[in-house]
């Protein structure tokens, strides 16, 4: 580790704010999309809410992002993508009226919410320059785009895996979905044991989106 500094602590704090806002947005939009498409389950389970307690998961929403933020605050030479995940979304595909279209909409709802937040922050940052607000907006853009891209990876339990499962035969789809229970293990493998290829994929896509929205790279 390189050591804590006022700059690294500030960046970590900005990432924490971005992750909190991004998680609230993605979980609410996902629940809203499912509800609008005919599934009452998110509303009945209390997930149609902006209260983080409705989706907070001790490891995915607490311990994991805390560890990532600690590495960023310490200006570590290893900086994993800012990441968090919520309790499994209570979506019942049997209620969705048009398949697989509706499942695709629900699966993309969370990542799209994060991309929209990142895009808004990136566009506004063009007029802020190197001010503190400009730096915050770039970090906010970075964290939300990272959250979106990471959740689209085909890791069992994340949005990407649910989308991939739609293209699989029924038996393979069921087996793939049963792996959701091992999500913490898969995320740890992706972030820490397969860090090289995962970071290369995530950060290259994030930088491409950053260049589109803010006109600059946003991966610190």
Q: Does the structure show a pLDDT above 70 at 123?
A: yes
Q: pTM, whole model, 2 decimals?
A: 0.92
Contact of 83 with 62, CB cutoff 8 Å:
no
- Give 142-192 pLDDT, tens digit per residue: 999 999 999 999 988 888 888 888 887 888 878 877 888 888 899 999 988
Question: Residue 106 in contact with residue 37, Cβ under 8 Å?
Answer: yes
Per-residue pLDDT at 26: 96
Residue 49, sorted as left (phi over 0), alpha (psi -120 to 50) or beta, turns out to be beta
**Does 100 sit behind a cis peptide bond, omega within 30 degrees of 0 on the bond before it?**
yes
Strand, helix or coil at 193? helix
Is residue 219 very low, low, confident or very high in pLDDT (cuts 50, 70, 90)? Answer: confident
Q: What is the DSSP string of 1-30?
A: -----HHHHHHHHHHHHHHHHHHHHHHHHH
> What are the angstrom distances between the C-alpha of 100 and each of 21, 106, 109, 185?
29, 10, 14, 28
What pLDDT, on a 0 to 100 scale, did the predictor assign at position 193? 87
Q: What distance, in Å, lies between the first and last C-alpha atoms of the chain? A: 16
Regarding predicted confidence, which is higher, 217 or 132?
A: 132
Do 147 and 82 contact (CB within 8 A), yes or no? yes
What ranges in 74-194 are assigned the alpha helix state H? 101-125, 132-151, 159-165, 170-178, 183-188
CA dist., res. 144 & res. 199, Å (int): 15
Residue 66: C-alpha distances to residues 16, 80, 205 (Å): 9, 12, 24
Distance of alpha carbon 159 from alpha carbon 179, whole angstroms: 13
**107-119: average pLDDT:** 96
Res. 1: pLDDT tops 60: no
Averaged pLDDT for residues 47-54: 92
Confidence class for position 2, pLDDT limits 50, 70, 90: low
Using one digit for the tens of pLDDT, what is the confidence trace for 15-36? 999 999 999 999 999 999 999 9
Element (H, E) at 41: helix 41-44
| 53-95 pLDDT tens trace | 999 999 999 999 999 999 999 887 888 999 999 988 788 888 9
């Amino acid at each position: 580790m390189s050591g804590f500094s006022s700059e690294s602590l500030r960046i970590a704090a900005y990432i924490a704010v971005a992750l909190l806002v991004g998680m609230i947005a993605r979980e609410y939009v996902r629940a809203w999309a499912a509800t609008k498409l005919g599934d009452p389950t998110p509303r009945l389970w209390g997930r149609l809410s902006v209260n983080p307690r409705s989706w907070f998961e001790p490891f995915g929403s607490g311990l994991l992002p805390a560890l990532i933020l600690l590495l960023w605050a310490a200006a570590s030479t290893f900086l994993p993508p800012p990441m968090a995940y919520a309790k499994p979304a209570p979506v019942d595909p049997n209620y969705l009226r048009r398949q697989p279209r509706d499942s695709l909409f629900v699966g993309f709802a969370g990542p799209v919410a994060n991309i929209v937040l990142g895009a808004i922050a990136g566009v506004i940052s063009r007029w802020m320059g190197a001010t503190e607000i400009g730096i915050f907006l770039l970090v906010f853009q970075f964290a939300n785009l990272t959250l979106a891209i990471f959740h689209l990876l085909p890791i069992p339990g994340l949005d990407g895996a649910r989308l991939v499962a739609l293209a699989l035969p029924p038996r393979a789809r069921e087996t793939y979905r049963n792996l959701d229970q091992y999500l913490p293990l898969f995320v740890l493998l992706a972030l820490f044991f397969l860090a090289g290829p995962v970071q290369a994929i995530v950060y290259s896509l994030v930088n491409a989106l950053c260049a589109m929205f803010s006109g600059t790279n946003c991966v610190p």
